[in-house]
Amino acid sequence: MGKLPDWIGNFPFPPDKKKPIVITRSQTKQFIYPDKPENSDFNWNYASTDKFFIAQYQLSPGVKFMPADVHTGDEVYYVVEGTLTMLNPATGEVHQVEENECFFIPLGGWHQGYNFTNKQTRIFLIIAPKIWPPKGLPEDGFPGETQIFSFNRQLNPNPITKPVRLHEGPRTPDLIGRWPIAGPLARKEPVNSMLISEKDKLSVIWGEEYPVLLKFLVSNDLVHMAEFFLPAGGLSPRCSEAHSHQGDEAVYVCEGDLCVFFPDTNDALEVRPEEVVFIPEGVKHQYINYSDQVVKAVKTVAPGL
């Protein structure tokens, strides 16, 4: 890969002209990666700012993307549809990630994705702070010997991994910012990726007057991803607290129609399934559910909550 395209870091707006906006799939930057169709995935980039890269990609049945990839930021996957199988070519680790599960790839972690099913697989993702350096990704991919099993290959008696121990004590909001482990610890060599299943999510109740269920998948010094659920019904439309962040935010709607209200300007935006709302750092906003079904969405923020 040569120099990165000019829109990287400047979509939907350059850093000095950011404002809230809804990005539909037809408005995304669309591309295949890499540029060999038989070993590629299809990508929709919803936002690429100076703080994060937000996208969705699709793997067809039976496909693997190659060469292996690596980023200059933490990467967090959320599987929207299908089953994703991930290989770390440096260590030989394999993880199978199902719908509604998360896969965390710390900065510097090599990875390669496979779809061993007969269904398409779609993944929503954030990479922060940068996807690649300005010169792009080396076209040759992983520079070492890929650790793939073979019956005719001698096994390594000393696996190239390190123990990863998730928090085993009480799960409280105090763990936000170091979930499932602290960011610097996750990035130590050898870099191990982590599967975040339903039992590994950090659930918290957000807000007293306007309670919302938040399930943190990853939360560290570079990136945050959480599911939230906004019920329907009651004495009035269900709302979240008005809030802002110390970083850019992108929310991907999985189910239901989400309204985002901006109290400082009295503006509002409707976000439908498979759409993303981009909200710049420091902009106060509030989620509202005017519909008759639960809104389920994935919230991403970088760098600070």
Mean pLDDT of the chain: 94
- pLDDT at 1 > cutoff 70: no
pTM for the whole thing?
Answer: 0.94
Across residues 141-154, what is the average pLDDT? Answer: 86
Q: What structural domains does the chain harbor?
A: 15-129 (2.60.120.10), 197-304 (2.60.120.10)
pLDDT of residue 160: 73
pLDDT tens-digit profile of 192-250?
999 999 999 999 999 999 999 999 999 999 999 999 999 998 878 899 999 999 999 99
pLDDT tens-digit profile of 87-128?
999 999 999 999 999 999 999 999 999 999 999 999 999 999
pLDDT of residue 98: 99
Side by side, the strands of the sheet bearing 84-87 are: 94-97, 84-87, 112-114
3-state secondary structure the chain: CCCCCCCCCCECCCHHHCCCEEECHHHCEEEEECCCHHHCEEEEEEEECCCCEEEEEEECCCCECCCCECCCEEEEEEEEECCEEEECCCCCCEEEECCCCEEEECCCCCEEEECCCCCCEEEEEEEEECCCCCCCCCCCCCCCCCCCCCCCCCCCCCCCCCCCCCCCCCCCHHHCCCECCCHHHHCCCCCCCEEECHHHCEEEEECCCCCEEEEEEEECCCCEEEEEEECCCCCCCEECCCECCEEEEEEEEEECCEEEEECCCCEEEEECCCCEEEECCCCCEEEEECCCCCEEEEEEEEEEC
Q: How far is CA 136 from CA 8, 109, 111, in A?
A: 11, 16, 16
Least confident of 4-8, 88-92, 126-130, 153-157: 153-157
pLDDT tens-digit profile of 42-80?
999 999 999 999 999 999 999 999 889 999 999 999 999
Least confident of 154-158, 229-233, 301-305: 154-158
pLDDT tens-digit profile of 277-294?
999 999 999 999 999 999
- pLDDT at 138 > cutoff 70: no
